[in-house]
Structures are given as structure tokens and as C-alpha cells.
Structure 1
């Protein structure tokens, strides 16, 4: 959600050990974690695990519903802008309600059906490659000590080429920050 209200946020994280995806959905003051296990998906709402026997689950306000769907789990929160967030061991899919189309950003783009300008970075710049687009949305870590975080950061990089501008040698730096490993990692 890229509106001023910021009704929801969906974060995707790849586990380093298992190479499997984990999803975190933030809606209002509710934090939902979805991650795979041997026989399905584990669901946690505000750090409390919801067993498969307790699905479907509805939050106290009734605006968020979580239920089994096929081999995975779906979260529904249409009043918050999320039609469905589906997650299973091998895939994930996010659908927004019609009134949110064109008001989203991130890896899913604007969700407006237009695909020529989908590669917008957080700064609003349009990139040409899918790799630089994806890297621009990585949330970097502050240190190498937390193994659960990405051990990378975005920084401007000095380019090897030197140019002369107004009869003076100048150093060139990347226009967009580049994803780099943290020192010591």
C-alpha cells in the first residue's frame, strides 16, 4: 500500500537455511507470519501460533480472515485493501481489491494492469532491468551479527571511469544505490 494511510504491507523473506519463502503481512496493529513446514503452512498472528484445527481464524474485529486453501493458506482482508494473500510451500500470490489498483508499490508493482512502468524503485525511478528493480526493494541489515537479516546494504558506488568536467577531473558515482555486502560479511 503506497497511500498515505498505509493500510497494509506484505514482506517476503527467503530463509537462508531452507531456501524457502516466509511472508509477513502487517495490517493495522496485526502482524501475520506465514511460513512452510513439512506438512503445510505455519500461521502466527502477533507471535501466537494458530493451529490448523483453529482455521478458519478471524481477528477480533472480524476484518481479517485466515483459512486453508488447497495445499496452503489464504489471508483475506478486503476492508484493508487485500483481497487475498495466498501462501504455500512453493508459491505465493497477492491480490488487492479493485479500489487499491494503482495505489500499490514494491515487487508487485502498481497492480493496475499496466506493465511498461512496473520497474519503479522506492525512489520513484524507472529501472530497465528486473535485477536492479528487485535489488532496490531489499531491506538491508544494520550489521552482520543478526543472521536472520540480509547481510547487504544499498550504497552509491564510485565508478572506475574518471571524466573531465569544466576542465577538472571528476569522479563518477552510481545514480542509483547498488546492493553491496556489508563489510566483514
Structure 2
């Protein structure tokens, strides 16, 4: 008598029935083995998706907003916000208004950017010709291949189901088990849209502009190789207010992008932020203060710098 071992897998988070991309069994899936393909299809069917089309970003919770991107500065689009930090996806717009995607997974750095009507792929600064695609990293857990008119990065075992980029649009899909564990412009994917605009310091921004600005990675100096020339800072309200007979200085409790010293803004956008008004000698951190009033100020998006830029 021959005993046959039967392995049965259960996933209590999958709701049935569900839509399955069956056509991927015919060769569109990035994995060769049939079981790997089926696992990939199931994961893709329940993945949370964030996308960008015609200057509008659609979050994992399917909330949309216009993203006024700064010039040459990266923004955090999506990242694993657990202590493991399995992945991070960054986005920036260069001086010619072209988008650049950077994906960091473990010690692997992947760049996707437009060049000569194609999407250039670099892995750890080494360009991968399209003729060498699909590319599988030696670890076997990351694969890059052509998909339609663009390039797709697959890393499902790291929680990053897919990152797709075709010069004009992009989309990010995270595994079902990463829902509620992400942060960035794409949000948490937990279905809670009332807290969709959560910033890195834990505050919930009142509008999408302030929210998007909070996820900018600022420059440290004009020597920044990305050509980003913005910093994030608390700004002072131009007028002083008198509260209980004392003159008070009002400072924004949310960071606002401003040009580095020695640079002048050449592109700005209005943003409404909260201000805290305390006596001038107050020693408490401005970002820990409560909001006393809301006012509109100017956020810088692009800068022109001189030799004095530091």
C-alpha cells in the first residue's frame, strides 16, 4: 500500500468568490512554476493597489487627490512601516517633469526612469538592458520584467506584490498581509479613510497638499546629488497676534517645504496649515503644540540657487 501525503493550504483572509487573472497562467505571470503562478495569482487578486494617472494619485483605500510634486525631491510613496522595513518606494519629478521611481528592498536598490522613450532599469547602480529581461536577483525573491508598455518589479515575499512604471503612469500593489502596515502617499490600506492623510509625525493633515508635502525627503545641502533644494521647516505667520495682552508669535505645527538658504523659489503653491501661537519665549517643540488657528502660506516647489547656497 502506498501512502500519499496530501498538503492542504488555508487562507482565512481570502473572501470567496473572488476574481482571478486566469490569463496569467498563459505566460503573463513572472514565475515559471505552476504552483508559483497560482500563488502569485491569488496574491495579486487580494492585493491593495495604489496608482498615479494624469497628476492624480489613488491611494490603497481608493481615495484620490492631486499631487503637486516638488522638483527633484523624492517623496515616500509607500513603505513598510513596521520595524522590519521590508521595502520602500520613492518617487521624484526631475527638471523636465519626468517621473523617477526608486525601490529599496533589503540591500537591493532599483531605479526606474524614462530615457529615449523607454524605461531604464538599474539595479544597485548597474543598468540592466531590456534584452536581459526578465531579470531575477540572485536571492530569487525579486524579479524585474517588461510588462505591457512598461517595467514591473515583483517581490511578493517582501510584501511588495508589484511596482509598475511606464513613464506616464505607475502603480504599486502590496500583499494582502501588508494592509494596514504601510505608510506614505499611498496610505495604510486599512479601509479607514478618515485618517488617510496621516503624516510621518503621526498627525492627520487636514488637506492633501499638506499631507503630500510631509512625505518629502528634504535636502541636507546644495551638494545633494538628487538636485533637491528644499527643506521642511516650521514657518512663522507674518503678522503677530496679541493674546491675553501678550504679543505671540505664531508658528506652523506642520512642516512646510521651503528653499535652502541661498536659493529663491521659482514655483510655489498655497497650502493651509495649522499654527500655534504662544509667547515668544516658549521652549516647547512647535511640532508638539496644539493648533490655535489655520492660515494659508506659500509652499516652495522649485528653487533657483546661487553660489551661496549651503
Is 1:76 aligned with 2:154? yes
Deviations 1:58-85 (A, max 9, x none): 1111000111000000000011010000
Cα distance between partner residues in 2 of 1:111 and 1:85: 16
Q: Which residue of 1 aligns with 2:46?
A: none
DSSP 3-state at the match of 1:12? strand
Cα distance between partner residues in 2 of 1:114 and 1:170: 37
Q: Which residue of 2 aligns with 1:184?
A: 262
Of the three residues 78, 95, 103, the one matched with 2:173 is 95
Deviations 1:113-160 (A, max 9, x none): 332221111111111111111111111112234463321111111113
Cα distance between partner residues in 2 of 1:155 and 1:44: 33
DSSP 3-state at the match of 1:60? coil
Cα distance between partner residues in 1 of 2:199 and 2:193: 14
Do the aligned partners of residues 39 and 177 (structure 1) sit closer, same or farther apart at CA in structure 2, a change above 3 Å counting?
Answer: closer
Cα distance between partner residues in 1 of 2:155 and 2:211: 28
Of the three residues 73, 81, 87, the one matched with 1:8 is 87
Q: Which residue of 1 aligns with 2:111?
A: 33
Deviations 1:90-135 (A, max 9, x none): 0111110000001000111112233222111111111111111111
- Structure 1 moving runs of 4+ over 3 Å: 163-167
Q: Give the alignment of 1:116-135 within 5 angstroms.
A: 116-135=194-213
Highest relative contact order (Cα 8 Å, sep 6+), 1 or 2?
A: 2
With normalisation by structure 1, the TM-score equals: 0.94
> Structure 1 stretch 68-77 or stretch 175-184: which is displaced more?
175-184
- Structure 1 unpaired stretches of 5+: none
What is the root-mean-square deviation of aligned Cα atoms in Å? 1.4
Q: Which residue of 1 aligns with 2:43?
A: none
Greater gyration radius: 2
The structure carrying a bigger helix percent of its residues is 2
Matched residue count: 184
Cα distance between partner residues in 1 of 2:91 and 2:235: 27
Of the three residues 231, 239, 250, the one matched with 1:172 is 250
- Structure 2 unpaired stretches of 5+: 1-79, 264-310
Is 1:60 aligned with 2:138? yes
With normalisation by structure 2, the TM-score equals: 0.57
In the alignment, is the contact (CA less than 8 A) between 1:140 and 1:149 conserved in 2? no
> Structure 1 stretch 141-150 or stretch 71-80: which is displaced more?
141-150
